[in-house]
């Protein structure tokens, strides 16, 4: 065997890996809509929100969250792969750390919601049921809206900064990312539905990466555009 045949080839990431971001956006959006439509906007003195299909919608949403989290890990890998040797170690470390913290707190929030649904049939007293469900709901929303989404905002700030420095993505996308990060850091406490802006951003970035990968694999198409 020749020396060139024995040399290992570098492992290249698949061009369609950005589909993971699309999958995350779809799963996370559906799960979020199911959860938000089941939970009351304010704390109540009863647990009526767990009846009339509310518990079923929450269970379906919780079944989607682990797969959304797996897809988000792949999305993080795809975004990081774009930097190659130009990656900044400082911002990359914060990017990875904030992304993992976002996922961890998302899973914790989902586990609390699942615990509420699973424990309610074993609490006979109606007043105790209401107290347990309200406490769990409050903790779940604190973890997801106050902490998890702030970590998502930090992730976006790191990405936008690295994109501006390395120019691996368009400058306009970096500025849009800064704006989305500001919304996640400030506005999410105002409305629960503002959270949907994050999966929308992931979807837009994933589609852009897919288009860039397609053009890179088809120079003729890139030339025509």
Tell whether the model's pLDDT for residue 98 goes beyond 50. yes
d(CA 61, CA 197): 18
Tell whether the model's pLDDT for residue 104 goes beyond 70. yes
Give the confidence band of 223 by pLDDT, cuts at 50, 70, 90.
very low
Span 82-101, mean pLDDT? 85
| Distance from chain centroid for Cα 37 | 19
Give the pLDDT of residue 158: 93
Span 106-113, mean pLDDT? 90
Tokens of 141: 């929303």
Out of 49-53, 152-156, 163-167, 220-224, the most confident range is: 152-156
Per cent of the chain over pLDDT 70 is 80
Q: What DSSP line would sit under the chain, residue for residue?
A: --HHHHSPPPPPPPGGGGHHHHHHHHHHHHHHHHHHHHS-SS--SS-GGGTTTHHHHHHHHHHHHHHHHHHHHHHHHHHHHTTGGG--HHHHHHHHHHHHHHHHHHHHHHHHHHHHHHHGGG---HHHHHHHHHHHHHHHHIIIIIIIHHHHHHHHHHHHHHHHHH-SS-HHHHHHHHHHHHHHHHGGGT-GGGGGHHHHHHHHHHHHHHHHHHHHH-HHHHHH-
Give the pLDDT of residue 221: 45
Give the confidence band of 113 by pLDDT, cuts at 50, 70, 90.
confident
Model's pTM, two decimal places?
Answer: 0.82
Give the confidence band of 224 by pLDDT, cuts at 50, 70, 90.
very low
| Distance from chain centroid for Cα 206 | 12
pLDDT digits (tens, 9 = 90+) for 17-63: 778 999 999 999 999 888 877 776 665 555 566 666 677 888 888 89
Span 170-195, mean pLDDT? 84
52 contacts 43 by C-beta, under 8 angstroms: no
Tell whether the model's pLDDT for residue 162 goes beyond 60. yes
Span 175-191, mean pLDDT? 84
pLDDT digits (tens, 9 = 90+) for 189-219: 656 677 889 999 999 999 998 888 777 655 5
Out of 62-76, 129-143, 187-201, the most confident range is: 62-76
Give the pLDDT of residue 172: 93
Give the pLDDT of residue 86: 74
């Amino acid at each position: 065997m020749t020396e060139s045949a024995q040399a290992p080839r570098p492992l290249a990431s698949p061009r369609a890996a950005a589909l993971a971001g699309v999958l995350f956006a779809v799963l996370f959006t559906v799960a979020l809509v199911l959860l938000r439509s089941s939970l009351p906007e304010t704390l109540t003195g009863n647990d009526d929100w767990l009846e009339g299909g509310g518990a079923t919608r929450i269970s379906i949403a919780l079944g989607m969250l682990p797969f959304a989290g797996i897809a988000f890990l792949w999305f993080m890998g795809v975004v990081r792969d774009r930097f190659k040797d130009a990656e900044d170690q400082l911002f990359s470390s914060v990017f990875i750390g904030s992304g993992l913290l976002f996922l961890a707190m998302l899973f914790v929030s989902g586990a609390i919601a699942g615990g509420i649904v699973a424990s309610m049939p074993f609490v006979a007293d109606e007043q105790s049921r209401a107290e347990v469900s309200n406490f769990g709901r409050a903790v779940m929303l604190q973890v997801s809206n106050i902490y998890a989404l702030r970590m998502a905002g930090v992730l976006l700030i790191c990405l936008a900064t690295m994109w501006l420095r390395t120019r691996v993505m368009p400058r306009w996308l970096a500025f849009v990312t800064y704006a989305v990060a500001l919304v996640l850091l400030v506005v999410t406490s105002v409305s629960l539905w503002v959270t949907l802006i994050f999966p929308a951003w992931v979807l837009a970035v994933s589609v852009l990466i897919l288009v860039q990968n397609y053009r890179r694999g088809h120079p003729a198409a890139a030339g025509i555009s």
